[in-house]
Amino acid sequence: MKAIILALALLLPAGIAAAQSRPSTVSRPCAASQRDVQVHGAVVLGTGGYTYDRFVRDRSFCLVNEGTDPAFVRSADTPACFVGYRCKDMMRWFDD
């Protein structure tokens, strides 16, 4: 019984963290979103309303078959803020 209580106590903070909302680019200065991507390497940011995307610092945060595509988002202080890159499937680039 003690093991079950201990396991639940250890898992509770993880559940709370998962329920936190992601930062929204539209309500933050451009530099704040850029800093998050640079510091963490890969981060999910809200991009307005119910939309969101994953932004990365460089290709090392993408899958082997993915490349990077520059990502510009709306922020509180600029309509086109370069926050980093999005991972994109490289095979889609070569489709005709």
**Domains of the chain by residue range:** 22-94
The Cα 65–Cα 82 span in angstroms is: 23
| Residue 67 contacts residue 90 (beta carbons within 8 Å) | yes
pLDDT digits (tens, 9 = 90+) for 3-58: 555 555 665 555 444 545 789 999 999 999 999 999 999 999 999 989 999 999 99
Q: Residue 90 has what pLDDT?
A: 86
How is residue 31 annotated by DSSP? H
